Amino acid sequence: MPNTAKSLKPNQRHFLDLDRLSKEDLRKIIDVSRALKAGTHPFAKSKPLEGKSLAMIFEKPSTRTRVSFELGMKRLGGDTVVLERESSQLGRGETVADTARVLSRYVDCIMVRTTREQKLMELAEYSSAPVINGLTDRTHPCQLMADVMTFEEHRGAIQGKRITWSGDGNNMATSWIHAAAMFDFELNVACPEMLLPPKDVVDWAQAKGAKVRIVNDPTAAVAGADCVVTDTWVSMGDADTSDRHNMLRAFQVDDRLMAAAKPNAIFMHCLPAHRGEEMTASVIDGPQSVVWDEAENRLHAQQGILLWCLGLI
């Protein structure tokens, strides 16, 4: 047998970004996640991942990603092992490729929360186990699966609906753009000129026929919106400067901005939140907020992703 990890598990399914999966597979994951939450899926009462193990690599701090993946894996019968920056060799002399080769011999799936997208891609290239993108500086696809699930719980099918993003064109904005193309909804992205989402992502989505519009006026962007979304003004790794805050101040989601959307529009935020910055307390703690459902749904969406990666759905 060749001495390569790739020869051991050649049929892995990576969950790297929404644009890399089919619309059908993304929909399957959402539907299974909702059934697991409702307790109507057969796997909700069994242990389909018994004997399976998940390695979780954290190069960035985490609350929701760690808890949701760990509990999700254990509820499905599997085991987890956590590798944090201080307790692993990744980035401390051992190459990403070697880490991938070694972990592939131990575990059935790898989740990584890292900085550069290149680390994620290199891990996937050399891993014979499925690799899941738990977050990079460029995208956050697991969060988007929970967000789509949450929207559909509250407002029905997301297809054809209008979502508005107001704030920094960061990794969450990028994944919302991917989602607009894959789930067929309209997306208005309101960002300062200096903090726009990556042009190649916008071009990709528009080439796919997605209704993605980039604007500078948040009030115009929320007109007719079914959902308003924002994120922290300072992502992990970004410089916390007064210039950034000054640029984003006009994009704060407050009661006035929510009032410009549809009367029954919902508010989303992936957390952690900073009241008085990207949104006001009256919005995130108000009746239109579905933030806590959104946070809970990370658990259920992660279970759907794990089942898909391991070939059970």
| 3-state SS, residue 45 | helix
- Give the tokens for residue 74: 């254990």
From the list 17, 19, 168, 231, the catalytic residue is: 231
Instruction: Select from 134, 118, 135, 112 the least CA-distant residue to 55.
Output: 112
- Is 143 one of the annotated active-site residues of the chain? yes
From the list 12, 19, 143, 178, the catalytic residue is: 143
From the list 14, 64, 66, 113, the catalytic residue is: 113
- Is 243 one of the annotated active-site residues of the chain? no
- Is 245 one of the annotated active-site residues of the chain? no
| 3-state SS, residue 192 | coil
Taking a C-beta distance cutoff of 8 angstroms, is the pair 189, 221 a contact?
Answer: yes
The backbone torsions φ and ψ at residue 271, rounded to the nearest 5 degrees and listed phi first, read 70, 150
Q: What's the gap between Cα 280 and its chain centre?
A: 23
- Is 113 one of the annotated active-site residues of the chain? yes
For residue 185, count CB atoms less than 10 angstroms from its CB and return exposed for 0-12, middle for 13-18, buried for 19 or more.
Answer: buried
Rounded to whole angstroms, how far apart are CA atoms 206 and 229? Answer: 20
Element (H, E) at 187: strand 186-190
From residue 67, give the alpha-carbon distance in Å to each of 62, 190, 272.
8, 31, 14
Rounded to whole angstroms, how far apart are CA atoms 18 and 15? Answer: 8
Query: What stretches of the chain show up as alpha helix (H) in DSSP?
Result: 23-38, 64-75, 96-106, 117-126, 141-155, 171-183, 199-207, 218-222, 242-248, 255-259, 281-284, 291-309
- Is 227 one of the annotated active-site residues of the chain? no
Rounded to whole angstroms, how far apart are CA atoms 110 and 14? Answer: 9
From the list 64, 66, 138, 140, the catalytic residue is: 140
From the list 109, 142, 270, 309, the catalytic residue is: 270
- Is 79 one of the annotated active-site residues of the chain? no
Taking a C-beta distance cutoff of 8 angstroms, is the pair 169, 196 a contact?
Answer: yes
Residue 188's Cβ-side half-sphere holds a number of Cα atoms within 13 Å equal to 22
From the list 34, 269, 298, 300, the catalytic residue is: 298
Enzyme catalytic residues:
113, 140, 143, 231, 270, 298
